[in-house]
Structure 1
Amino acid sequence: MFLKNCWYVAAWSNDIGRELTAETFLGENIVLYRQKDGTPVALENACPHRKLPLSDGNLKGDTIECGYHGLTFDCAGKCIDSPTQRGMTPRRAVVRSYPIIDRYRLLWIWMGDAALADPDKIFPIENFDDPSWGKTDGGAMDIDCHYLWVCDNLLDPSHVAWVHVTSFAGAGTDDEELDIKKTDRGVIVSRWIQNKPPSPYYAELVQFKGDCDRLQHYEMCLPAIGLNKSIYTPVGTGGYDKPYVDTTFINISYNFMTPIDEDRTRYFWFQHRNSEPDNKEVSEFMNRGARMAFQEDKDVLEKVHLGMKHMTTPNIDLGLDAGAKQFRRFLDRKIKDEAVKLEAGE
């Protein structure tokens, strides 16, 4: 169901501190906290004695004391104290430890084999440290649907014409032909819309007057990371092989879907633009617009999830679903390959 040997976003870095925070990712219960020096820790959230959540216990220094009988675990999940039977700590008194790393203002957790957890495999965010690029604060939202419905939605440039009428919609978003491309990390669905007015949301952001050429670039990467790139450039200057001009506006929306379980998704996002890096008003405007649009998606996707889970008649696919279907097949192959290697002991 889930790809395990990869990095998922667990939280915004500044949301995890010196308190025990209970979370569920990929159906696994986990407790998060930071050591005194700020290093993040992720452990199985269940004492091996009677499975009381460790998050119900106490943080003592850098260790967790279970709130039932005091079994105490270090940052690697090893039991270092058993007050009721000191000197006779059961060898099986261990909890799983998950690799977890701070990067790009986010906490990334590795849900698979810890020996394979390579930090270089964290999804790269280009220009993150470029001071000429502006960032929004971003956000997080729980959506009561399977994570792949969110992925499908982020590979569908056409839905904006009906779901996001006052924000991302615009001429050409309903019927312009889509280009689909496979990559080594996923699928890209894109199209250039030529000589049309900008969408309502971006009309406030572009630095030129009149109509535009507009790129909708919807990319989904393993395990469930959406990179949506919007490019607005003066008429006649847009196209797949054309260079950017001085007034070309680029916004990249980074979307990180972390499955909570098969019915719930934690959705993290932020936006990255090639202009006005210090303009807080622009950042706040973009963040408000994104949150409003994602709430619109949430309202639709939760009903899609229920409708598809409890369907009484068969559903159909449309041509616009081609990119999403390709990504699902790609992901499914990776999940099956992972299962085969696990069974073979690799």
Structure 2
Amino acid sequence: MFLRNCWYVAGWSKDYVQKLKPQMLLGEEIVFYRQSDGTPVALEDACPHRKLPLSMGAIENDHVVCGYHGLTFDCTGTCIDSPTQRGMTPRRAVVRSYPVVDRYRLLWIWMGDPELANPDDIFEIENFDNPEWGYTDGGMLPIACNYLWVVDNLLDPSHVAWVHVTSFAGAGTDDQPLDMEKTDRGVIVSRWIYDQPASPYYKDLVRFDGHCDRKQHYEMCVPAIALNKSIYTPVGTGGPDKPEVAETYVNISYNFMTPVDEKNTQYIWFQHRNTDPKDAAISEKMNAGAVMAFNEDKEILEAVQRGMDKMATPNIDLGLDLGAKTFRRKLQKLIDAEQAG
């Protein structure tokens, strides 16, 4: 069902403090907390005695104390105290520990073999520390659907013409041909749209007047990270392999889908732009627009999940689904190989 030997986003780093925080990720119950020095910890949320969630216990001296009989676990999941039978702690009194890393304002978790967890493999966000780039606060949205429906949506530039009429839509988004490219980490679906007005979301953000050349770049990376890039440039300056000009506006929406279980997804995003790094008003306006648009996606995708669950006749695919189908095949091959190993 899920690829496990990879890094997923557990949540925003700011939301993990010196307090037990339970979450389900990839169908597994996990409890998070921070030690007194700020180091994040993630453990299986189940005491090995009677499986009471450890999140119902307490933190003492950077350790987790079960709220039933006081079994105490360190950050590695090792039981270091058993008050009811000190000196006779059962060897099997161990809970799983998950590698976790803070990066890019996000807390990342490795759900597979901890021996394979390499922080260097965390998805890179280019220009994150570039002072000339601005970013939004972003958000987190629970969506009651399988994460692959969200993946499909984020590899589909065409849906904006119907779902996001007042935000990301615009001339050409309904019928211009799409290009698809396979990459080492996933797939890219893209197209250039020439000499058209900017979409409603971007019309006050671009740094030039009149029509534009516009690129929709929808990229999905394993396991489920989308880099959706919007490029706006003056008419005649856009197109494949053409260099950016001074007026070129670039906004990248980073989207992190973490499966909660087979019918629920945690969706986290933020946007990164090549202009106005310190303009809080622009960041707030962009974030509000994104929240509105992503809630439109949420309504559609939850209805898709319900429709697919109860379908009476087979569903079909369209040509626009090529990118999503290609990514699904790549991901499934990795899952199959992981399970076989």
**Is TM (by shorter chain) over 0.5?**
yes
* 1:166 has 2:166 as partner: yes
Which sections of structure 2, spanning at least 5 residues, go unmatched?
none
What is the alpha-carbon root mean square deviation over aligned residues? 0.4
CA distance in 2, matches of 1:11, 1:121: 18
Which sections of structure 1, spanning at least 5 residues, go unmatched?
342-346
Aligned to 2:249: 249
1:64-107 CA-to-partner distances (Å, cap 9, x unmatched) read 00000000000000000000110000000000000000000000
Aligned to 2:5: 5
CA distance in 2, matches of 1:337, 1:297: 32
CA distance in 2, matches of 1:91, 1:310: 47
Aligned to 2:179: 179
Measured after TM superposition, the shift of residue 240 of structure 1 is 1.4
* 1:125 has 2:125 as partner: yes
**For 1:103-252, what aligned pairs fall within 5 Å after superposition?**
103-252=103-252
Measured after TM superposition, the shift of residue 141 of structure 1 is 0.6
Measured after TM superposition, the shift of residue 61 of structure 1 is 1.6
**For 1:1-346, what aligned pairs fall within 5 Å after superposition?**
1-341=1-341
Residue identity opposite 2:32 in structure 1: L
Structure 1 runs (4+) greater than 6 angstroms displaced:
none
CA distance in 2, matches of 1:24, 1:139: 18
Measured after TM superposition, the shift of residue 204 of structure 1 is 1.3
1:152-200 CA-to-partner distances (Å, cap 9, x unmatched) read 0000000000000000000000000000000000000000000000000
Measured after TM superposition, the shift of residue 201 of structure 1 is 0.3
CA distance in 1, matches of 2:323, 2:54: 42
Q: TM-score, normalised by structure 1?
A: 0.98
Q: TM-score, normalised by structure 2?
A: 1.00
CA distance in 1, matches of 2:45, 2:130: 38
**SS at the partner of 1:202?**
coil
CA distance in 2, matches of 1:172, 1:183: 25
% identity of equivalent residues: 71
Residue identity opposite 1:95 in structure 2: V
CA distance in 2, matches of 1:270, 1:222: 18
**SS at the partner of 1:232?**
strand
CA distance in 1, matches of 2:30, 2:113: 16
Measured after TM superposition, the shift of residue 21 of structure 1 is 0.2
**SS at the partner of 2:160?**
helix
CA distance in 2, matches of 1:240, 1:130: 25
**SS at the partner of 2:219?**
strand
Measured after TM superposition, the shift of residue 283 of structure 1 is 0.3
Equivalenced residues, count: 341
CA distance in 2, matches of 1:98, 1:278: 36
CA distance in 2, matches of 1:192, 1:78: 55
